[in-house]
Structure formats: structure tokens, C-alpha cells
Amino acid sequence: MPSLIIDGREIAADSGEKILWAALRSGIYIPHLCATEGAELPFGGCRLCLVEVEVGGRREMTTACSEPVREKMKIYAHTEKIARMRRMAFELIMSDHHIDCKNCAKRKNCGLIRTASAMNMPLQPKTLRSLARDLPVDNSHPLFAYDPRKCVKCGKCVLLCQGLGKSFLDFAHRGFEMTVTTFDHLPLSSIACESCLDCVKVCPTGALYLKDTSKNVIPAPYQSTGLTSAGRPKGGGVSEASEHSQKLLTSPDPGVGGSLKEEGGSGDG
Amino acid sequence: MEESKQIEETLGRFRPERENLLPVLQEIQEQVGYVSREAMEKVAHFFLLPPSEIFSIVTFYHQFRRKPPGRNPVHVCLGTACYLLGGNLILDAFSRELQIGRGDTTEDRSFSLDATACFGCCNVAPVVKIHSQIYPKMSPGKVEEVIINLRDKDKSS
Ligand code: SF4
Ligand code: SF4
Ligand code: FES
């Protein structure tokens, strides 16, 4: 079992695992938004997990979610330079985020609020002006909705849906115009989504959220029509999916694990 | 030839291997003029890839259009020389006048707007190409006139 040294502290790690997860397990908090544990190809898009690694006496910047641990590697996770870069990364993320916590379904369990409080930063960028885009909310699905104005393009839902062999969500367009969306921007109700609602769980923001169905009767097992994912078997029955969604809907705290106060530890999964 | 037939005929000439994905999409655009929803679905099916991935690729490259070209396809050059002399301002002017963005087609299908790379007429930059005609030394002020003339021609033909 290799061990590595983060900020002068020696910690144990599993061989081949990425720095980020070893650090978090040992109680060293490194901010992160886009990382999925066990992902083969880390997305590395949020740039919040930047650390410095000592290589041949020099320090190099790298993202902790993508760099595998090596025996006795020396990592600096909390330097002045790192703090500056992370703050900038977070401001960039927030600069096109539609900040509206009061009306946000994830306000009690938001990865952005958690990150902001851990980094001791406000949600509103101080040095950048807001470039939030006016994009339409997809409200078509009976159980969940998608508000692209809150999406931080972390890619977690894309990776997850892909892992389930469905790939209903993907990135589209590029640069500032990039969005996470369905095939040809089709409404969520018209694709063959089986309502497993796992994307809602992994989404760290209020972009993918459960609709408030508590006042209504929970809709009958949702059966979709229309497009199927080409060439892929339609796994998972509808009844199984709806059972799963009932559980999600009735649990007191749907969405990612952990609470606002929890700043380190297991992270936001 | 009808669009579906053209797509199928194109797919028939390739093997469903990933390295053929971009050539297939380019060939469809060449044959049909654009990559429609139907085309993306057929390509996805052919390569056994999720349609969302095809959409991701088609929207990533500006060379693919998802709407049929207009009767007057406007190509604004954004090559180095044209760009330096304000090609993007010409593009903006067309976009404003026609009320469409880059890669888009007007409701009545009379105009479409695209940006392209160098035509090789840098000496008269910035240039715009519509059909095979080159409009040299363009300025935002000339854009309206170009559009009106083409609209008139459309009406009389
Ligand atoms: S996603 Fe988080 S930061 Fe954004 S509006 Fe919702 S609660 Fe606020
Ligand atoms: S919808 Fe949520 S999970 Fe998906 S990319 Fe956007 S922020 Fe990430
Ligand atoms: S968590 Fe490493 S770049 Fe986002």
C-alpha cells in the first residue's frame, strides 16, 4: 500500500487511486465538484482540486482528481498559489450560474454552497461580472426537471447516464455556448428515460432536481415513448425505476449525501 | 433524390467503424446540404452510438449545419485577413439584419448565414460569398443593400 505526503502529513492510499480520494479519506479537504470516484477518465473540468506535486525538486500543478498516487509523492494542497487559482476557478464557475438559492430545490444540499463555505467565499463572484444565460427550463418530465441556467457543466450526470448504458445526456455546442442536454434538445419526457433519477442524485447543483410532488399523488409508473438509445439494450424495468423514485421522493433529504456544515470528510460523492 | 435515400446511400458506402464517423457526417452534409435530426438518428443507429453523442459531435464543429441552407447562402469569410479587417463585424451585421445566428436559416428559407475560412481573395478583404459571387471590401453599411438586392431578385424570379 503506497503512502504519500500531503502538506507534510503522511497518509495511506490504495495503489492506483487518485490523490483526491486518498486525501478526502484521511480527512484532508480538497475542494472538488466534477470528480466521480472510480471514473476511469476523470473529467477534470472544474479545476477546484488543483494541488502542487513535487517532481524532481520542482513543484508542478495538477488536478488531484486525475493524478494517481505514487509511493512517497509529495503534495502541497494548501499553498497561497493554490488558494488563488482555486478561488479564480470557483469565481469562473459562478460567473455564469443563475444564483437564486431562495427558489432552488437543492438549497439544502448544494455542492456550490458547500464549496463556497469551505473556501470561505461568497457565491457571487467578486472580480467577475455575471454572464448567466437565459436558457429554458425543461419541465416536461413528471418527476424531475432540468434548469440549464444552474448547470456548472461538471459532467457527472453525463458520465452516470453513460455508465448505465443509456447516454441520454451529453454535452452539446462548445466554448461559452456549451450545455448539457438531450439529443437535439428534445424534451426529457420524449426520450426513453426510465426515470431512475440517479442523475438528480449526482448533480451537485439545482440543475437537475426532483419536482415537488408531495402535494400531489405520485404519478403512475412513468412510461416513455419515442426515441430509444440506438443499439443499446433497454435495461431496467419501469416498475423497478418507479420504486426507486418513490424511495427517493419519500426520503427526507434527496440528492447528494452530506449537509451544509459538512465541509470535509467523504465529500459530496 | 429524397433525403432518407441519400443518407442511406451514403451510409452504405462506409463501414461502421468509429474513424468513419466524421467522414460520414461530412458526406451527408455534402449530399443533403445539412445534417438533420433524422440523419443524426440514422448515423447513431449505423455506428451503434447513442444519438446524444452524435448530437454532441455535430454541434461541436461549426462546419455542420443542422438546418437546410437558404436559397441565398451567405458565407462570411473569417480568414486571417478578413478577420483583421472586421469580418466579424460583417457577420454581426448580417446576423442583425436577417435575425439569425451563425449556422442558421431564416424562417422563409431565403437566407442562411455561415462563417468560413479563407476564399483566397485576401486582396479585397473583407469578403462575403453568396452563390459563386464574391462581394469585395464589405462593410456593415453595405449589408442591408446586398440583402435587399437578393430579396428583389428572389421575387422577380
Ligand atoms: S444550485 Fe446552489 S448556489 Fe445555485 S441557486 Fe441552487 S442552492 Fe443556490
Ligand atoms: S446537470 Fe448537474 S450533474 Fe449534469 S453537468 Fe450540469 S451541474 Fe453537472
Ligand atoms: S474535481 Fe478535479 S477538476 Fe473538478
Compute the mean pLDDT over every residue in chain A, rounded to the nearest whole number: 83
Residue from A156, A181, A268 whose mutation best tests the ligand 2 pocket (most atoms within 8 A of CB): A156
End-of-domain residue from the set A48, A78, A108: A78
Of A253 and B42, the one with more pLDDT:
B42
**Is the pTM value of this prediction over 0.90?**
no
In the reported structure, the alpha carbon of residue A69 is separated from the centroid of ligand 3 by a whole-number distance in angstroms of 16
A169 and A241 housed in the same domain: yes
The answer to the question of residue A127 being in a domain is: no
The answer to the question of residue A204 being in a domain is: yes
**How many of the other CB atoms lie within 10 Å of CB of B65?**
21
pLDDT of residue A233: 38
Indicate if the pLDDT at residue B108 is higher than 90: yes
A161 and A227 housed in the same domain: yes
Q: pLDDT-derived band of residue A215, with 50, 70 and 90 as boundaries?
A: low
Q: pLDDT-derived band of residue A225, with 50, 70 and 90 as boundaries?
A: very low
In the reported structure, the alpha carbon of residue B103 is separated from the centroid of ligand 3 by a whole-number distance in angstroms of 33
The answer to the question of residue A71 being in a domain is: yes
Count the domains in chain A: 2
Indicate if the pLDDT at residue A246 is higher than 80: no
The answer to the question of residue A94 being in a domain is: no
> Is B50's Cβ below 8 Å from some Cβ in A?
yes
**Residue A125 grid cell:** 463572484
The answer to the question of residue A21 being in a domain is: yes
In the reported structure, the alpha carbon of residue A45 is separated from the centroid of ligand 2 by a whole-number distance in angstroms of 12
The DSSP result for A91-127, as a single string, is HHHHHTS---GGG-TTTTS-HHHHHHHHTT--SS-SS
CATH number where A145 lies: 3.30.70.20
The answer to the question of residue A106 being in a domain is: no
Q: Give residue-wise pLDDT tens across range A60-108.
A: 999 999 999 999 999 999 999 999 999 999 999 999 999 999 999 999 9
End-of-domain residue from the set A38, A62, A78: A78
A245 and A178 housed in the same domain: yes
CA B118/CA B136 separation, integer angstroms = 13
Residue with cell 451527408: B28
The answer to the question of residue A48 being in a domain is: yes
Chain A residues close to B48, C-beta within 8 Å: 230-232
Atom of ligand 1 nearest to the CA of A101: 8
> Are B52 and A230 a contacting pair at CB < 8 A?
no
User: Which amino acid is present at B146?
Assistant: V
Give the CA angle between residues B7, B10, B16 to the nearest 5°: 105
- Cite the DSSP H helix spans in chain A: 19-25, 80-95, 111-118, 156-163, 198-202, 238-250
| Residue of chain A whose Cα is closest to the Cα of B35 | A184
Indicate if the pLDDT at residue A34 is higher than 70: yes
- Among A104-118, A246-260, B101-115, name the one with the lowest average pLDDT: A246-260
pLDDT of residue A1: 76
**Residue A254 grid cell:** 434527496
For residue A23, give its domain range.
3-78
Atom of ligand 3 nearest to the CA of A154: 4
Q: Give residue-wise pLDDT tens across range B33-80.
A: 999 999 999 999 999 999 999 999 999 998 899 999 999 999 999 999
A171 and A245 housed in the same domain: yes
The answer to the question of residue A95 being in a domain is: no
Which of B48, B56, B60 faces A230 most closely, judged by CB atoms? B48
Class of residue A38 by CB neighbours under 10 A (exposed 0-12, middle 13-18, buried 19+): exposed
Q: Are A94 and A129 in contact (CB under 8 A)?
A: no
| Domains with residue ranges and CATH for chain B | 3-60 (1.10.10), 72-156 (3.40.30.10)
* Stretch B92-112: mean pLDDT: 94
Q: pLDDT-derived band of residue B1, with 50, 70 and 90 as boundaries?
A: low
Indicate if the pLDDT at residue A269 is higher than 60: no
Q: Does ipTM come in above 0.85?
A: no
Backbone angles phi, psi at A77, to 5 degrees: -105, -10
Indicate if the pLDDT at residue A247 is higher than 50: no
* Stretch B121-146: mean pLDDT: 95
Backbone angles phi, psi at B103, to 5 degrees: 85, 5
Decide: A30 in ligand 3 pocket, CB within 6 A: no
Decide: A149 in ligand 1 pocket, CB within 6 A: no
**How far is the CA of A181 from the CAs of A136, A145, B100, B106, in angstroms?**
11, 12, 22, 24
Q: Please report which helix (H) or strand (E) contains residue A62, including its range.
A: strand A58-63
> Is B53's Cβ below 8 Å from some Cβ in A?
yes
pLDDT of residue A42: 86
Å from B73 to nearest chain A CA?
22
Compute the mean pLDDT over every residue in chain B, rounded to the nearest whole number: 94
* Stretch A46-71: mean pLDDT: 94
Q: pLDDT-derived band of residue B122, with 50, 70 and 90 as boundaries?
A: very high
CATH number where A19 lies: 3.10.20.740
